[in-house]
Amino acid sequence: MRLSGSSFALASALVLLTSFPLAAQEAAKPTTAAEAPTRDTSYIDADGTAHVTRVVPVPEDLSPAAQKSLRHAEPDQGPPQSLAERRKSTDAYTARAREEWVKICPVTIEDRTIGGVPVHVVTPPDIEPGSHDKILLNLHGGGFNSDSGSYTESIPIASYAKMKTIAVLYRLAPEYPFPAAVDDSIAVYKELLKVYKPEHIIIYGTSAGAILTGEVAVKIKQLGMPLPAGLGIFSGMGDFARNGDSIAMYALRGLSGHLDPPASGPHDPFYVGSTDAKDPVLSPIYADLHGMPPTLFVTSGRDLLLSGTANLHRAFLNAGADARLVVFDALPHAFWYNPNLPEAIEANHIMADFFVKTLARKTAAPK
């Protein structure tokens, strides 16, 4: 995972879900052009496991920038990376991403502490009329072991929604496994409830932050606290006990990147720790999801968490929630981090628009 001059390479460098376990593994030998398959093959073995190769062209309806990004040559797998190296490179990415997004979306950023938890308070220059009493709460991505998204997720959303946004800098694994991140997020939410009505608050996040958003919503319900007006679950999942199909098909960069068969046992043991993988807060797909607020799910066709996002969306629907799913074609995990993609700008506008309309409906509804 190395930083380069282009924003896409920076965004691609984000190992948003699980990179620390790879640090102890030996890097796979990259595939050469001569070794690359030139035709489709498929063999289904006795237990149903599919052994496939596919030749997949870049869809022509993507923007030229997105098509170029998918043609970006990447090795099958970079060198192993320690947790300290990952955090150092992620910090460098985050600083650069902040600069790039602020050029597009001018905001002011203040570092504060709320409920004993450090946060970024991101404020656009032109808050929407009538929105001074509303707040967006971001739970960032970064594989639960680093911060890849507190700026990339809060700056464009604050700007496009014209609403103040708070990004929670929760404690990280492996030093602080589950439920530390949930506890920190709840602490901030409790403090916000002293100032904001629950129907004036939205909670959202990408990747690890999307997973955490679902976990926090379930915990809020368990505690008997008022739920927020809405949720945004962007490329997440709700089941640490089972693998979905997409995680066996796509790498972090979609079809680019080395894939090992999914490991048995719970996802991300460094975050899960000693918790039962089917704990209903850790894995909300096993929770009672009745009464969840309106929720927007966003993913993409080559997202390793496509299955996880779709499965949790279906669980919300089965519980009677107002749950909406948007899937972008062909793009990889959390592509909306990249400010150079028109599809990323579109995705962030879709997210912000959902938040604005959800808050408007909630605040206009009769008590």
| CATH, residue 276 | 3.40.50.1820
Is residue 124 in a domain?
yes
Cis status of the peptide bond prior to 59, with omega within 30 of 0:
no
Residue 2 domain flag: no
Kindly state whether residue 22 falls inside one of the protein's structural domains: yes
E strand intervals along the chain: 41-44, 50-53, 108-114, 117-123, 135-139, 165-168, 201-206, 230-234, 295-302, 323-332
Residue 36 lies in a domain: no
| CA-based nearest residue to 36, from 53, 59, 60 | 53
State how many domains the chain has.
1
Please give the single-letter amino acid code of residue 103.
Answer: K
Q: Is residue 34 part of a domain?
A: no
Radius of gyration in angstroms for the set of CA atoms belonging to the chain, rounded to a whole number: 20
- Residue 355 within a domain: yes
For residue range 162-204, what is the model confidence (pLDDT) as tens digits?
Answer: 999 999 999 999 999 999 999 999 999 999 999 999 999 999 9
Determine the structural domain holding residue 126 and report its residue range: 7-29+42-364
Q: Is residue 37 part of a domain?
A: no
Q: Where residue 77 falls among pLDDT bands split at 50, 70, 90?
A: low
Q: What is the pTM of this model?
A: 0.91
35 occurs within a structural domain: no
pLDDT tens figures, 203-225:
999 999 999 999 999 999 999 99
